[in-house]
Structure 1
Amino acid sequence: METIVYVTSVKIKKSIIYMTLQSDQKLEPLSIELVCRNEMSPAAVPMVFSVSHTDRTVIQTSMDTGLLRLQNDDWEIAVSSETGKYTPILNGHMRAALILFSYKIKPGHNFLFFPMGGPGHKFLLRCRPLTKYDGAGTHIRELTALLLSKLLKPLWKKKKIWLIYEKYSSSAQDNGFYFFRYCMEQLPPEERRRIYFILDKASPQWPAMQKYRKQILPFMSFRHILYLLLADLYVASDARLHAFAWKPMPNLISREINRHDIFFLQHGVLGLKRVETLFGKNGASPMTYFAVSSEKEQRIVTEYFGYDSSHVPVVGLARWDALENKSDPCRKKILVMPTWRSWLEDKDDDFFCKSDYYQTYMHLFQNEALLDLLKTSNTCMVFYIHPKLKEFMKSFHSESPLIQLIPFGQCPLNHLIMECSMLITDYSSVCWDVYYLEKPVVFYQFDSELYEKTNGSYMDMEHDLFGDRCILEDQLINTIKDYIQSDFHEKEKYKKMRKDLFAFRDHNNCRRIYDFIIKNR
C-alpha cells in the first residue's frame, strides 16, 4: 500500500508555524525538512518534530519562519524515513480551512508567508512580497461579489459573457488584445456587448483602450471580480489565474476561477520550452481549448499534453493578423529579446546582478568588437526584457547610443518585431513571429545545459532550429557580422523549413478563432 502523509492541522503563532502530519501506515521519520523549490538557490531547513503511534502515525512538527531567507519562493516539506522520502499533502479539512480562514505570517513589512495547496494538493509554504491586494478592502469586494454572483447566476447564464485578458491582466498588446480588437471592430453590436477585456489601470495601454471603455473591466474592481464569477468563457494568452491578483492566498474566488472553461490563445508557439506540467490536461493549469499554428504543433499538444485533437484547433496566433514587415534598410535594427528564467523571477537586484543571465548581456553590450560593428554598419541594437523580469531593466545600462534599452510596456512588442531587421533570442517564442516575417533569427543559448535541465524543449536545439545557434559570445559577434554583410537576408536552409511550421500565413487567424469558439460553445 502506498504511503501517504497528510497535513491535518496548521496553527500559526507569530513567526512560528505548527503542523500535524498523519499517515495510515507506520512511519518512523529520520528527518523532516522544509525545502526551497528554487533550483538556483536550494535550501533545506531542519524542522523539530515528535512522533506517536496509535492506529496511525501522528507527527507534530514546527518551524520558525524567521530562519528562512526573505525571497519570493515556495517551500515544501520533505519527510525522510528508511522506507523513502514523502511530500505531505493537504487533507480535505485543511484545504477547506485554508480557503475559509486566514493563515498568514508577516515576517517583515514587505513579505508574506502563507500555507497553500500546490499541484496534487501538496502542502506549500509560499513566500512573496506584500501587494496592495492583500488588504481588507479586496477581501470585502471578493465576498460581496461571490454572494451576488450566486444570486445573479441563473439570470446571467443566458448572457454567455466572454472575458479576454493577457499576462497578469497588465497589458493589451498580445494575442488577447488582437482578438478583442477583432471582436470590437468586426462583430455586430449585440455580439460585442457580451465581450469584455480585463486591464489594470496602471497598464501603459490603459489610455488607448478607453475607446472601448464600456467593454473594459478595471483589474480587481468589484465589477471585474463579479464578471469573473459569472463569465461563460475566458479567452486568454495565459492561465486562468492571470485574470486575478497574482499568487493570492487560498480563497473562494480562485477556486471558482479554476472551474471556468478557457480558450487558450497561447502567448507563443510551442517548441523551445516544455510546459505540459503547467498547461497539460493533468497539469497545474489545464485548458479547455488550445489554439495552435500548425499540425506539427497540434501533435505536440495531443502527444505531450494529453488533449484530444478536437480541442486543439489549428487556427494561428491572433496577433499575426497585424504583422507586416516594417524594417527600414536605412535604419537597421537588431532586436535582442531573451526569455525569462524561473530561478530569477521576483528575486532582489543583488541576486539578479550576480546571475549569468545579467552578466552575459552586460558583457555583450560592452563588447568593443560589437560596438565597432554596429557603428561601421550604422546598425542599432534594441534590448527588450521579458515582462516577468521587467523590474530588473533598471539594472542594465550601456554607454553606447547604438544600444537601446527599452523597458517593458514602453513600446508595443509587435512594433519592435515588425521594425527589426533581425532577432537575437535564446528560447523565447517571439522567434516564431520574426520567422513568420521571413527575417533572420539567431539563438544565443549560452546557458543551454542549465535550461535543458530546468525547462527542456520539444525541439532538438542542435538540429531543428530555424536559425543560427550560438553558445559563445565570439560566435554570436561573428554571426551578427555575417548577417550585416548579407544585408540581413535569411539563409535558404531556414526558408525551406517554414512551410511545415505555419499552417496559415494570412490575416484570418482571429476569424478562425471566433468561428471555432462559436461552433463549440
Structure 2
Amino acid sequence: MNQVSTPVSTMDDIEDNIVASLNGNILRISDNTKLRSITLDLDELSGSNKVAFKLRLKKNEINRVLLVQDLSATNEILVVYTTKHSVICMRKLNNGSHPLKQFVKVKFKILHLNINKRNFSFAYIAAISNPYCLSISKTEIYLDDQNVFPIDVPIHLSFPKTKLKLLKLAKVKRISMQQLLSDGEPPINSHLKIRLEINEMATTYSAQTLKIHKPNNKRNFYVPISTCSYKDYALHIRRTLNGTPTLVRRLKYPVENTRQFKILESRLVSLSLYGAGKCVKYFSRKNCNVFFEKFAAKAEEGTYEIFCKSIQSNKSNNIFVISRESDDYSGIQGNPKVVVKYSPKYYWYLYRANNLISTEAPAHVNLLRSNNKYIKKALINTSFVFLQHGIIYMKNMGRKGAFSRGKEAEPSYMVVSSEKEKQIVSKMLKLPEDRLLNVGLPSFDSIQPNSINCTSRNIVTIMLTWKPYEEHYRDFSSTSYYQNTVAIARSLKNHLHSSEVRIVAHPKVYEAISNTDLKGQLWSGKISEALKDTKLLITDYSSVCYNSFYRGAGIIFYQSDIAEYEKETGTLIPSDDEYIGRRCFSIVELRSILDEVIIDKEISLADVRTAEHEARYKEINQFSDGNNVDRLFSALSSLKIV
C-alpha cells in the first residue's frame, strides 16, 4: 500500500479529476498526472471492511462515488468514494441491498394516519438529501406491488434546516379501499415505504412516525392506531419496532360477525373493561392467572395439567380459557374454573390477568392480528409465561419470531428442556438465562417414552411446517406446503398401504388436500393421538420431531425448500451433526431413503434411528421422568406466580 499526495502549491495546476480502477486484485486511485496516486492490494482489506486515505481533493472531487465493483469471488461489493479530506475504500457483503443506498438520505415522516371504510389516508413529509449528486429517479410511495404511487420529492444536497421549511413540504395521500383490496390476495402486513432508483437501480426507504408519537414501551408499537372493517376484511394500522407504519389486511373470522362479539369488543365496553382491569390489578393482592393453549381451542399440550395443579393454591386465582367448539371442551367443561372463549367472563379475565400462561403467544387467547387496541395493549403489557408447545431446537425464532426480547410476545419466563436449549434460546431470543426455567415441557409428562419399537405398527405420519410467508394465498394448492405434502404422500404409495400413511395438515390446506386422491389419508383428530403410534415421522422444520422421537419413532427431515425458508426465518438451529434423523433435500433423495428404511412394507427403525441420534436427542431434552409439571409448578410457586 502506498500513497503520494500532491503539494498544496501545485493543486491549482491539476486539471484532471481523480478516478479509481480495479485491475485484478489491485485498486488504483489517481489523476492523469499521477501526482496524486494510491495503490491498494484488496487482500490488505481483509479483517477490515473500510480503509481511508488522507488526500488533497479539489472542490468538485469532494463527495463523489469513484467506483462500484462486484467482487463475485467473495460475494462482496467494493465501493470507493471521497469525503472532504479523504478517499475511502469499502468492501461489504453483497446481501442484495443497493450498494449506494448509504449515500442518499430520505426523510419520510408520517404526521397522521387513518383508515376507514372509504380509504387509507396519511399526511407525510418527504425530502431527499443527495450530497453525492447521484442519479435519482422514479420516486414512489410503495405499499405493495399493487399499490405503488409516483410522487414528486424535492432533492437537494441536504435537508431543509428548519422544521418550518419541512412542514411546508407536507402532503396528504389517500388510497381507496377498492384499491387496497383490488388484488385477490393482498399481503397481510404491508410496510409504508418510499421506493426510488439510484443510478437506475431500485431501493426502498421505510417511513417513520414522529418522536411525539412513540410510546415509552416499543412493544406498544404493535397496538393498532386506526382500525376498520370492510366487507370480508378487517384492517388496521400499527407500527413495527422501528416505528414504520404498517397496514394489516386479513380476512375476518366468523365470530367477528356475531352480535355478542360486536358488543363485547366495542370501543366503549373495551375501554371500560381495560380501565377497570388495570384498577383491580393495582389494588388486588392475589394474582389472577389465565391459562390457554393454541387459539384457546385445545387442552392437550400440558397447560391444562399445570392449571389443575395451580387451582389447588389459595395464593392465586387461576382460570383456563377454551373455545366451546373445541373437541377438548366437553371433557373439562365441568371444572368451574374453565371459562368459555368470547364469553363476558372471558373478557373480564383478559383485562384482569396478572399473568398469561400458555404454550402459545398471548395473541392466541383472542384473535390473531386483532383490531381491538385495548385487548392488544392489555395482552402486551401483561406478564407472560411461555410453556412452549414443542422444544425450540429447530426453527430460528430470533429474526422474525414474536418471542424475542422487545417483540410483541416477549416472555417474562420461558420453559426449556435442557441446558443446551437454554443457551441457544438465551442467545437467539436475547433473554437472560435467569428467565429460562429448565424444568422440561409439561406436554411431555403425558407421553410414554420409547413406547414405539420395531414391533409397532408401520405407521408413517407426514407433518410439515406452515410457512407464514404463504399465509395470504387464497389458493392453498399453490403453496409449497401443499405441494411438498402431496409429493411425500405419493412417494410412499409403493412402500405402504394408504391406511398406514397419515397426513396431519394445516387447517388452511386441509380442504385442498381433501379434494385429491389423498383424502382418505388426512388426519382429523388430535396431533397427540396421531403421534401415539407413529413409527416414522416425515417433517421439514417442525419441533414435533422431538415429541415423536421421545416416543421412539424414527425421523426423516424433508427440506427441499430450505433456502427460501431460511431466507425468511433465519438459519435453522441444529448444525449438521445435531439432527436426530435422516435429512434429504429433494424428492429423489427422499425416495432413496424410503427404499432403504422400508423393506417389504416394514419400517426398519435401526436404519432411521441410530444410537448417535439418541445421544444427540438426550443433549436437547434431558428430562424423561414424567415430572415436568411438578418441577414447573415448584418454579412458578417460588416466583410467587401461582
TM-score (norm 1): 0.85
1:445-503 alpha-carbon deviations (Å, 9 max, x no partner): 12111112112334355443110001222332332343334642322221222331122
Q: Is the 8 A contact 2:426 2:432 kept in 1?
A: yes
Aligned to 1:430: 544
Aligned to 2:334: 211
Q: Is the 8 A contact 2:120 2:174 kept in 1?
A: yes
User: How big is the shift at 1:181?
Assistant: 4.0
1:92-116 alpha-carbon deviations (Å, 9 max, x no partner): 676799979854262xx21233322
Aligned to 1:334: 460
Aligned to 1:511: 630
Q: Is the 8 A contact 1:425 1:443 kept in 2?
A: yes
1:217-269 alpha-carbon deviations (Å, 9 max, x no partner): 21122221211222221111122222222211251221122111111111221
Alignment of 1:109-508 (within 5 A): 109-131=231-253, 132-133=255-256, 136-137=262-263, 138-139=265-266, 140-155=268-283, 157-183=284-310, 187=312, 190=314, 194-212=317-335, 214-249=336-371, 251-277=373-399, 278-324=402-448, 325-327=450-452, 329=455, 331-348=457-474, 350=475, 352-367=476-491, 370-375=492-497, 380-385=500-505, 389-397=506-514, 399=517, 404-407=521-524, 411-460=525-574, 462-485=576-599, 487-489=604-606, 490-508=609-627
Aligned to 2:165: 55
Query: 1:6 and 2:109 equivalent?
Result: yes
Q: Is the 8 A contact 2:224 2:237 kept in 1?
A: no
Relative to structure 1, the CA distance from residue 217 to residue 91 in structure 2 (aligned partners, 3 Å threshold; closer, same or farther) is: farther
Relative to structure 1, the CA distance from residue 284 to residue 194 in structure 2 (aligned partners, 3 Å threshold; closer, same or farther) is: closer
Relative to structure 1, the CA distance from residue 365 to residue 514 in structure 2 (aligned partners, 3 Å threshold; closer, same or farther) is: same
SS in 1 for 2:416: coil
Q: Is the 8 A contact 1:440 1:488 kept in 2?
A: yes
Relative to structure 1, the CA distance from residue 432 to residue 10 in structure 2 (aligned partners, 3 Å threshold; closer, same or farther) is: same
Relative to structure 1, the CA distance from residue 220 to residue 17 in structure 2 (aligned partners, 3 Å threshold; closer, same or farther) is: same
SS in 1 for 2:110: strand
Relative to structure 1, the CA distance from residue 332 to residue 290 in structure 2 (aligned partners, 3 Å threshold; closer, same or farther) is: same
SS in 1 for 2:326: coil
Larger mean CA deviation between 427-436 and 276-285 belongs to 276-285
Q: Is the 8 A contact 1:165 1:176 kept in 2?
A: yes
Q: Is the 8 A contact 1:175 1:266 kept in 2?
A: no
- Measure, in 1, the Cα distance between the counterparts of 2:567 and 2:226: 37
The structure with higher relative contact order (CA 8 Å, sep 6+) is 1
Relative to structure 1, the CA distance from residue 393 to residue 122 in structure 2 (aligned partners, 3 Å threshold; closer, same or farther) is: same
Q: Which amino acid aligns with 1:502?
A: N
- Measure, in 2, the Cα distance between the counterparts of 1:25 and 1:436: 58
Q: Is the 8 A contact 1:18 1:60 kept in 2?
A: yes
Q: Is the 8 A contact 1:7 1:94 kept in 2?
A: no
Q: Which amino acid aligns with 1:441?
A: I
User: How big is the shift at 1:3?
Assistant: 6.3
Relative to structure 1, the CA distance from residue 436 to residue 158 in structure 2 (aligned partners, 3 Å threshold; closer, same or farther) is: same
Relative to structure 1, the CA distance from residue 64 to residue 309 in structure 2 (aligned partners, 3 Å threshold; closer, same or farther) is: same
Query: 1:18 and 2:137 equivalent?
Result: no
Q: Is the 8 A contact 1:276 1:283 kept in 2?
A: no
Q: Which amino acid aligns with 1:404?
A: Q
Q: Is the 8 A contact 1:116 1:126 kept in 2?
A: yes
Higher strand content, 1 or 2: 2
Higher helix content, 1 or 2: 1
How many pairs align?
494
Larger mean CA deviation between 413-422 and 92-101 belongs to 92-101
Relative to structure 1, the CA distance from residue 101 to residue 117 in structure 2 (aligned partners, 3 Å threshold; closer, same or farther) is: closer
Unaligned runs of 5+ residues in structure 2 are 1-101, 131-135, 155-159, 216-220
SS in 2 for 1:267: coil
- Measure, in 2, the Cα distance between the counterparts of 1:400 and 1:47: 45
- Measure, in 1, the Cα distance between the counterparts of 2:224 and 2:555: 50
Relative to structure 1, the CA distance from residue 98 to residue 478 in structure 2 (aligned partners, 3 Å threshold; closer, same or farther) is: closer
Relative to structure 1, the CA distance from residue 90 to residue 497 in structure 2 (aligned partners, 3 Å threshold; closer, same or farther) is: same
Q: Is the 8 A contact 2:322 2:341 kept in 1?
A: yes
Q: Which amino acid aligns with 1:484?
A: I
Relative to structure 1, the CA distance from residue 267 to residue 81 in structure 2 (aligned partners, 3 Å threshold; closer, same or farther) is: same
Q: Which amino acid aligns with 2:189?
A: D
1:28-75 alpha-carbon deviations (Å, 9 max, x no partner): 995233334xxxxxx252225466874325343232342342435111
User: How big is the shift at 1:365?
Assistant: 2.8
Q: Is the 8 A contact 1:440 1:467 kept in 2?
A: yes
- Measure, in 1, the Cα distance between the counterparts of 2:237 and 2:212: 14
Relative to structure 1, the CA distance from residue 167 to residue 32 in structure 2 (aligned partners, 3 Å threshold; closer, same or farther) is: farther
Alignment of 1:102-113 (within 5 A): 103-104=227-228, 106=230, 109-113=231-235
SS in 2 for 1:363: helix
SS in 2 for 1:47: strand
Q: Which amino acid aligns with 2:192?
A: I
Once superposed, what is the RMSD of the aligned Cα atoms?
Answer: 3.2
Q: Which amino acid aligns with 1:176?
A: T
- Measure, in 1, the Cα distance between the counterparts of 2:485 and 2:149: 40
Q: Is the 8 A contact 1:21 1:59 kept in 2?
A: yes
User: How big is the shift at 1:424?
Assistant: 0.9
Relative to structure 1, the CA distance from residue 88 to residue 518 in structure 2 (aligned partners, 3 Å threshold; closer, same or farther) is: same
Alignment equivalent of 1:46, drawn from 136, 148, 156: 148
Larger mean CA deviation between 136-145 and 331-340 belongs to 136-145
Aligned to 2:38: none
Alignment of 1:86-105 (within 5 A): 86-91=205-210, 103-104=227-228
User: How big is the shift at 1:416?
Assistant: 1.9
Q: Is the 8 A contact 2:392 2:543 kept in 1?
A: yes
Relative to structure 1, the CA distance from residue 282 to residue 146 in structure 2 (aligned partners, 3 Å threshold; closer, same or farther) is: closer
Q: Is the 8 A contact 1:33 1:44 kept in 2?
A: no
Query: 1:64 and 2:176 equivalent?
Result: yes
- Measure, in 2, the Cα distance between the counterparts of 1:198 and 1:287: 19
- Measure, in 1, the Cα distance between the counterparts of 2:140 and 2:597: 56
Larger mean CA deviation between 338-347 and 1-10 belongs to 1-10
User: How big is the shift at 1:342?
Assistant: 1.1
- Measure, in 1, the Cα distance between the counterparts of 2:227 and 2:214: 12
Relative to structure 1, the CA distance from residue 460 to residue 159 in structure 2 (aligned partners, 3 Å threshold; closer, same or farther) is: closer
Query: 1:75 and 2:190 equivalent?
Result: yes
1:148-167 alpha-carbon deviations (Å, 9 max, x no partner): 32453344x21211111122
Unaligned runs of 5+ residues in structure 1 are 37-42
- Measure, in 2, the Cα distance between the counterparts of 1:199 and 1:13: 32
Aligned to 2:58: none
1:266-320 alpha-carbon deviations (Å, 9 max, x no partner): 1221222111242111333211112111111111122222111111121111100
Q: Which amino acid aligns with 1:205?
A: D
User: How big is the shift at 1:323?
Assistant: 0.5
